[in-house]
Amino acid sequence: MTKTNPGNFFEDFFLGQEIVHATPRTVTEGDVSLYTALYGFRHMPHSAEPYAMGLGFEAMPLDDMLAFHMVFGKTVPDVSLNAVANLGYAVGRFGAPVYAGDTLRTTSTVIGLKENSNGKTGVVYVNSIGINQKDEVVLDYVRWVMVKKKDLDAPTPDTIIPDLPKVVDVDDLVIAEGLDFSSYDVELAGAPHLWEDYEVGEKIDHIDGMTIEEAEHQMATRLYQNTAKVHFDQFAAKDNRFGKRLIYGGHIISLARALSFNGLGNAFKVAAINAGAHANPTFAGNTIFAWSEVLDKQEIKGRSDMGALRLRLVATKDHPADDFPYKDEDGKYNPDVVLDLDYWVLMPRRG
């Protein structure tokens, strides 16, 4: 019996399987500082504690995508250590805010399986839930990942593809108790545009670009304790169809979110991920650009201090986004599109 962990292969998963992931992680201020250094986040509530507390937070909260990566990273050794690619996300709801000092842990349930026609890989659907030390849910989401088979003769499981809603209902968004955005200061935030200033169908070119550095990507991925081989092992990667390591898709999400500050500087609170796809692979040396589209705009019942915007965030590689590249007439992604993320944000209102 081996003492090392080879990771799960597609044939090791079964419907209803429950996985308790190691290792609980206490988030520190150092993690937040490193995350800021890697991506350059500038949203005021994640940068200035007195102003965050003035909005009703207990302290300066983590950027929601940092919380996402910490919860996600726990799942990798059990779900995607032998992944070919992480394919998509759905029905993700952010719950309790995460603060430095909180300890996060994650559990997952297998909710779907589909072996691919080549018989060498299959897609695994999991519902993962991140919980803090108070047993409060900080994130509940579904993702699906393509995983290698080890035994090509293993029986093919029944195909079960979960029926997932396309959009999280606005009434199901979690608003932490005590939050009040009525004292939000747009001057200190560095962005004048609030909820009222955005229109459905509006597209925003975020203009700036960020080039992916190999060292920064590996540092970021290790920060989340994501151990997927495709991101680290060049000795193995030289034999894949690209001949090199893949960039972790979450790294692209954070790069694109950071770029989106230029045009969406007050969209600091991610409330839900409706859907997400890593449309094409990225590699070290690619330069990431981003644009956003306002898909929907909803008032929140009983609240005059905040509203909800549903946004599509599209990231491209080596392709400035001023022409808003997306899909062709057949619905196929432009080859330069690397991320298609549909999500809800909470944004301050003028009241």
What are the angstrom distances between the C-alpha of 316 and each of 17, 206, 209, 220?
Answer: 36, 11, 9, 20
Q: Degrees (nearest 5) of the Cα angle 260, 61, 305?
A: 70
pLDDT of residue 236: 85
Per-residue pLDDT at 233: 87
Return the pLDDT at 84.
Answer: 85
pLDDT of 239 reads 86
User: What does the pLDDT read at residue 53?
Assistant: 97
- Percentage of the chain beyond pLDDT 70 is 99
Rounded CA-CA distance 109/51 in Å is 38
pLDDT for the residue numbered 222 = 94
- Please state, in angstroms and rounded to a whole number, the distance separating the CA atoms of residues 63 and 21: 22
Q: Is the pTM of this model over 0.85?
A: yes
Residues of the chain falling short of pLDDT 70: 1, 351
Note the pLDDT of residue 97: 98
In this prediction, residue 345 carries a pLDDT of 98
- Distance between start and end Cα atoms, the chain: 64
Q: How far apart are CA 87 and CA 218, in angstroms?
A: 20
